[in-house]
Amino acid sequence: MAQAQICNDELQELTHLRQANVRKEISIPGFDQYQTLKCDFHIHTVFSDGHVWPTMRVTEAWQEGLDAISITDHIEYRPHKNVVIGDNNVLMNSVTVLYGARIGNGNKFFPGAVISAIPQDLKFRGEETTVEIGDNNTFRENVTVNRGTAAKNRTVVGSGNLFMEGVHIAHDDIVGNECIIGNGTKLAGEVIIDDRAILSANVLVHQFCRIGSYCMVGGGTRSAQDILPYAMIARDPAAYCGLNTVGLRRRGFERDIIDNIHRTYQIILQGTGLLKDLLARVEEEIPNSPEIDYILDFIRTSKRGFIR
């Protein structure tokens, strides 16, 4: 007995197909030793503006006596309500885009990626939340990005990021621009990653942590605290391993700025006394710049403390 597959409220069960599989015979004579085939070259499914699964279209065509069909779903793929997908995106086979997705332009989704699944959070009660993705990101195989919860209502991914195979971005995370997240790295809920951070493979990030811009996090690092901007973090337990000097030079940072960042961390991480006094000392001794202001604000607003 053939039945339509009911995947969401957009799909419709076709009760007339509950009948036994009986194929109609359409007799059209051939000519000059050619056989005539019965075909339909314009058929839509749930993957555009149709209402049934592709396999159902095949069953229908067989029952109607057709020999060949062409499924011609529109490229503006809309598998669910409340999904917005921009232009020039590439969705390879087995990509799943679910309710609440907001996807910009020029993104690439490799096989097995799941975008906008409900949060893995028992506090989630079905509230209206979203995943918001910018432009020109790459999501490699089996990357998962979960919707937000009532905490922040949305999970946000900026533009120009690379998420390697098996990365998980949990509910209410905020990932900036031009970040590189290595294979198997897992972000817990409400994590913030600032622009141009690099996390190597199999990094584990605790919920509520913040990852600073231009940092480099070594493979296998487990982070339960914030990671300072411009820093290299590695080892077990995680520790500050110096500046990401090579990365800063590649990004065009001038030598005096790199030296000032280095001196700032010498005062904060090697100095003695209260943290607030060390930060005040930085303001007195280090020339003011956007980079130094960013470090001071990052530390003063940290809620979990930072890795030293």
Instruction: Give tens-digit pLDDT for 47-92.
Output: 776 767 788 888 888 888 899 999 887 654 445 679 999 999 999 8
State which CATH number among 1.10.3720.10, 1.10.10.2520, 1.20.1180.10, 1.10.10.10 fits the domain covering 249-300. 1.20.1180.10
- pLDDT value of residue 173: 98
- pLDDT value of residue 79: 53
CA–CA separation, 201 and 166 (whole Å):
10
Q: Kindly list the catalytic residues.
A: 171-172, 189
Torsion sign over Cα 218, 176, 98, 128? positive
State mean pLDDT over 30-48: 84
Q: Which residues, listed in sequence order, are joined to residue 187 by a DSSP beta bridge?
A: 169, 205
Tell me the CATH class for 84-244.
Answer: mainly beta
- pLDDT value of residue 94: 86
State mean pLDDT over 155-184: 98
CA neighbours closer than 13 Å in the CB half-sphere of residue 57? 20
User: Which residues make up the CATH 2.160.10.10 domain(s) of the chain?
Assistant: 84-244
CA–CA separation, 203 and 218 (whole Å):
8
User: Which residues make up the CATH 1.20.1180.10 domain(s) of the chain?
Assistant: 249-300
